[in-house]
Amino acid sequence: MQVASLWRYPVKSMMGEEMNACDITEKGLFGDRVYGVVDRETGKLANAKNPKKWPNMFRYRAAFIEPPKLGKPFPPVRVIAPNGQTVASSDDNADKVLTESFQRAVTLSSPSPDAIEFEGYVPEEIEELDNRGSIFTRQSPGETFFDIGKIHIITTSTIDALRSLTPNSRVEPRRFRPNIILETPNEQGFIEQEWVGKTLTIGNKVQLKIVQPTKRCVMTTLAQGDLPKDINILRTLAKENDGNFGVYADIIQPGPVKIGDTVQVNE
């Protein structure tokens, strides 16, 4: 196996940036989800998991103005709104611009030591899901804007498995917002779920502990760029794989990773 692709998302629930190489730190991929949009009225994190309240999250794009470097403060993040307006996190009017764009009073914030809540919506159309049509509330761990794990991993085997199960859908990795995509030649099925409890070694240094499968939500069904809305993505996962796609990992040993690095699974 080898690393096929690396992604980080500087602002929670906005489109991110693909990289050829990146450092993995104790907090995940360096620069991943270092900002979030916070609803001033509720104090909750804006999140594409609740498209009823935040229908356009995936129409915003975020990228660092310059590459961040270990040991130095993060450079500003540039956000491009759906109407093409651009604002940097360092701009004095950043919150004003985003408030006008979202049509809700919001603040572009860094994580705090306290956990922050976010909401999600369970699609009513998918009979296999519990609590259809409901809104649920979860918490991001303190000092992060992550849902659960610090690293999200998917494989080419899992992508191919879902494509075979739903041939009329456009199953592309960006629907699932991974940090790391692994090329898994000669493997079939949702292979990474067999790694839960095991350790991945990437390159010569990085070690990741696979902690649990990634339970998917409505985000996978939403339109992204030229990808259309497709409720069948989540419906198929719910029917065929208990709603899972990919795995979460924690960091045992940080270090640099790059495309082409070899990957080994250890007990």
The pLDDT profile of the chain, 267 residues, written as one tens digit per residue, is 999 999 999 999 999 999 999 999 999 999 999 999 999 999 999 999 999 999 999 999 999 999 999 999 999 999 999 999 999 999 999 999 999 999 999 999 999 898 899 999 999 999 999 999 999 999 998 899 998 889 999 999 999 999 999 999 999 999 999 999 999 998 999 999 999 999 999 999 999 999 999 999 999 999 999 999 999 999 999 999 999 999 999 999 999 999 999 999 998
> What six digits make up the tokens of 261?
């690095």
CA distance 201 to 193: 16
Cβ contact 237:244 at 8 Å: yes
pTM metric for this prediction:
0.96
The total number of residues shown for the chain amounts to 267
Print burial letters for 64-89: b (CB count within 10 Å at least 16), e (below 16): beeebeeeeebbbbbbbbeeeeebeb
Residue 235's alpha-carbon distances to 162, 187, 216, 241, in angstroms, are 11, 24, 10, 10
The CA-atom distances, in angstroms, between 249 and each of 107, 113, 201 are 29, 21, 12
